[in-house]
Structure 1
Amino acid sequence: MERKFSFLIFLCMALEIFSQTPNYPAAWTLENCIEYAKENTISINSLRLSKNAAQQDLLQAKDAKYPNLNGTVSQGLFAVNGSDGLHMTGTQSQSIGANSSMTLYHANYIKNNEVSKDLLVQMADLSVQEAQNNITLTITQAFLNILMNQENIISLENVLKTTQTQLKQGDQLYKAGSLSKLNYLQIQSQVAQDQYNLTAAQNNLRTNTVNLKQILQLPSAYDFQIVKPDSIMVDDQLKTLQEVQNLAQNQRPEVKYGELNVENSNTNLKMTKASIQPTLSLTGNISTNYSNGNGNYFNQLGNNFYMPIGLSLGIPIYNNRIYKTQIEKSKIAIEQANLDLLNTKTVLNQQVEQSFINLQNALSQYDSAFKQMDISKQSYDIVNAQMKIGSIDYVQLQQQRLLYIQSVQNYLQAKYTAVLNKQIYEFYAGNPINLK
């Protein structure tokens, strides 16, 4: 029996630990990374909590149009003022009551307050969307950096294999006396340099992988590895700048947030103006009491029952300019909200324009880099073949080799810069990030 009980405790603990384990994607594609970050990033979840708090304020604002109700029950002793002064009689007493009030008129303050709280809920949701957009671009750049590192490593491994082959050939030529010791040492030095370059590229891959892992806020012990797409293509099909700017202005959450902020500022002005208007309320309460020694308990409650109901009218007369100041500041807030909206639209248009220019530049650099790499590769292959038959010296080979390596680096940088800028530009147009 004791063993069964211990097993049940262990099983419950295991199930609890398992339930706390995050649900990681089966494969970390770019799309999965983005979706995981949107759902699990601390900063975004914090904004969701702010939205939940705003929704609670909205529920409270909706219930403000209904009457409230409060009840009271008190138990105590009588104090009697006699000839010898105030003293306690020891007689028990009880008082029971309830009161309620409801605003009948306040210049639509309750309705406008509900509208304002609803706008704040929508604005909180837009803040979540904007944060998701920001982290989407951050993850895309980090993911593409990893892909560029992986491709760079492959190219450097191929270069190292070539120089290692040259070293084997050089070793045979040196032993046969056909290669000087200086050239032989230069080949050894180049192999060491290529190994260093490969190690540096591998270190960059680890660093960029950790960077993406930290953006996703994954545990340190988690073995994080991304899945490379089947192919990365550079697409030179562009929407016009005006088209993307119009799409961005109509779809981006920061613009919608600014528009709602203007609407909310106008609503707040209506609420502030209501403060100088009369407030009509319906009030009422019921009460009864009982004291020991004055008759039956229930008879006393019935005989002492009291239920006044009436109207209450509050009229603001003079308030040291408090309400007038609030009205003027609300008007200023409207002007500020309009300026903020205009600034948001202006900055967004500038960002789209800069993205358009960056993409055009990246595509031009990509075309040039591709041609440069192709020519450098052909030249390097020719020089390498000539080196094998001894028609050129090692210095010429190394010069062409360095040109080829640099052209590969330029090509990879231009390729992934073009891919990143295309994704950013399309993202402004409302298209999701997609490397397929």
Structure 2
Amino acid sequence: MLNLTIKSLLLLFLSFSCIRGFSQDTTGKSVPPIWDLETCLQYAKSNNITLKNLRLDTKSAEQDKLLAKSAVLPDLYGSGSLSYNHYNRNTNGSTSAINSSGSYGLSSAWTLYQGGYLKTDIKQKDLSVQSANYNVLVSENDITLQITQAYLNILVDKESIIYNKDLVKTSTAQLAQAQRRFDAGTVAKKVVIQFDAQLATDRYNLTAAENAERQDKITLRQLLQLGDARDFDVLKPDTVLSDAPIPSLMTVQKYALENRPEVKGAELAVRIADLDLTKAKSGYLPTLSLGAGIGTSFANDPTYNTFRQFDNNFYQQAGLTLTVPIFTKRQNKTNVAKARIAIDQSRNTLENTKTTLALTTEKAYITVQNSKTQFTSATEQLKYNQELYRISNEELRIGTANVYDFYQQRNLYVQALQSFIQAKYNAALAARIYEFYLGVPIKL
């Protein structure tokens, strides 16, 4: 009965512990319902799985660096053995006995010279840590651009929902007006059906816009590593466009080629490859190491005192070992040749990285100019079509407009509005990306 009570209390304690732990975990992962772009970017830098793994790669590289530094130190190992032997004491086998024996010792080895390999390895591991940090920065930049694109897509969806709701509201009022005129006998049934069909189309477009927003929110949540966030939404800024002049292409390219982490990482890769060549060449040089050891042994024999054996059998040894490579079956020559190949490959990668970055910045520059021009044209287009649509609405209200002409003008207005919204956010995104290559943080 007592055992049962103890088990029950233990289970109850574990249950409360699990509940408490779950509560703490949920609280720790609580997220705000409304996110601005800066919050999204900061959260992703802390919680994105890709970035977490890259930071772990950096920690692994740091451990390799510590191991390389420790390689210049002597090691120390302890050893011990104990064995038992069974044998017959008399020749007739009437008496048997068990004897024990053992040995214990300490040994150490210290590499004094290895052709400069150890010092070179420390330098290389230090560069590898820096390279791993640059990989984190490269991934942060990529995720920043992806999040900004996803965020602006949601803003486009929100504006599409707004104007689609307005179209549904307008179509509903126009349908009601057409129905009243049909009831009064001033229009044909065909007109009412046309308005009815248009209302159905507008509702469909509204649903499609709402679904697009849901899908784009899921995309952004995936980038943020947000699993359960049903109330997730983004904050719409007051303005997304800036009147500030864009910097020149030469300025952006110069800064990017000197400071972008992908270029820095590629440059480090060349230096790491150079150190690999130095390490490979050290294989031709001799290795000098110092070894030392102490130990003792004993045998459990009645004729000898065990403790006296420890003293009598105690030994010490020390010595130098020189290893000179004479014939290594082409191993050193192959290592040197492959190291030279790796240097050429890393230099090609660096050149390709710089070329790609230069072309990317130039493309971003052209995109900014085109997007600004398109936004200006879209603004003008919307201005005129909005006025024509207003006039068509008024003519329809007083009954002087042809339904076909009205819908033609309405479609032109909708297309102009869609183009304006897309052009506005394309211009904002293009400007932010271009300035990002200049080291300007992305903000809305």
Q: Which runs of 5+ in 2 are unaligned?
A: none
Q: Distance in 2 between matches of 1:412 and 1:100?
A: 74
Matched-pair contact (CA < 8 Å) for 1:236–1:363: no
User: Which residue of the partner structure matches residue 18 of structure 2?
Assistant: 13
- TM-score normalised by the chain length of structure 2: 0.92
* Secondary structure in 2 matching 1:308: strand
CA spacing shift, 1:297–1:4, aligned 2, 3 Å: closer
- Does residue 347 (structure 1) correspond to residue 356 (structure 2)? The answer is yes
Which residues in structure 2 correspond to 1:166-205 (within 5 Å)? 166-205=174-213
Q: C-alpha separation between the residues in 2 aligned to 1:349 and 1:61?
A: 37
- Decide whether aligned partners of structure 1 residues 297 and 249 sit closer, same or farther in structure 2, where only a CA change above 3 A counts: same
Q: CA separation in 2, counterparts of 1:89 and 1:77? A: 10
Letter in 1 for 2:23: F
Matched, 1:51 2:58: yes
**TM-score of the two chains, using structure 1 as the length reference:** 0.93
Query: Match of 2:347?
Result: 338
Partner of residue 148, structure 2:
140
User: Residue 90 of structure 1 aligns with which residue?
Assistant: 98
Q: Please say if residues 241 and 427 of structure 2, whose CA atoms lie closer than 8 Å, have aligned partners that are also in contact.
A: no
Q: Alpha-carbon deviations, 1:3-45, whole Å to 9, x = none? A: 9877654432222113333534424221222222222222221
What is the alpha-carbon distance in structure 2 between the residues aligned to residue 7 and residue 73 of structure 1?
48
Equivalent residues of 1:272, 1:323 under 8 A apart: yes
Instruction: Give the CA deviation at 1:226.
Output: 1.9
Deviation at 1:224, TM superposition (A): 2.0
Give, as a single letter, the amino acid of the residue that structure 1 aligns with 2:362.
E
1:109-188 → structure 2 map (5 Å cutoff)? 109-188=117-196
SS at match of 1:67: coil
Count residues with an aligned counterpart: 432
Deviations 1:85-122 (A, max 9, x none): xxx97321110111101111112211111111111111
Match of 1:277 in 2: 285
Percent identity over the alignment? 40
Q: Does 1:213 align with 2:221?
A: yes
Equivalent position of 1:63 in the other structure: 70
How far the C-alpha of 1:131 sits from its partner, in A, is 1.2
Letter in 1 for 2:227: P
> How far apart, CA to CA, are the structure 2 residues paired with 1:136 and 1:414?
21
CA distance in 1, matches of 2:365, 2:202: 37
Query: Over residues 229-280 of structure 1, what are the superposed CA-to-partner deviations in whole Å (9 max), with x where a residue is unaligned?
Result: 2332244520111111111112211111101111111111111111110111
Aligned to 2:296, which of 280, 288, 293? 288
Label 1:14 to 1:180 Cα distance change in 2 as closer, same or farther (>3 A). Answer: same
Secondary structure of residue in 2 paired with 1:56? helix
Residue type of the alignment partner of 1:392: A
| Deviations 1:159-199, CA, capped at 9 Å, x for gaps | 22222222222122221122222222212221121111111
Give the match for residue 414 of structure 2. 405
Amino acid at match of 1:380: Y
AA aligned to 1:171 is Q
Letter paired with 1:421:
A
> Residue 65 of structure 1 aligns to a residue in which SS?
coil
What secondary structure does 2:240 align onto?
Answer: coil
C-alpha distance in structure 1 between counterparts of 2:229 and 2:105, whole Å? 63
RMSD: 2.4
Matches within 5 A, 1:261-340: 261-293=269-301, 294-340=303-349
SS where residue 307 of structure 1 aligns? strand
Structure 1 match to 2:262: 254
Deviation at 1:79, TM superposition (A): 9.1
Mapped to 1, the partners of 2:274 and 2:228 lie a distance apart of 49
Residue 221 of structure 1 and its aligned partner are, at CA, apart by: 6.2
Other-structure match for 2:41: 34
Superposed, 1:75-86 pairs within 5 Å as 75-77=82-84
8 Å Cα contact 2:51-2:136 kept in structure 1? yes
Q: Is the 8 A contact 1:61 1:110 kept in 2?
A: yes
Contact between 1:57 and 1:117, CA under 8 Å: does it hold in 2?
yes
Counterpart CA distance in 2 for 1:242 and 1:125 is 27
Task: Give structure 1 stretches of 5+ with no counterpart.
Answer: none
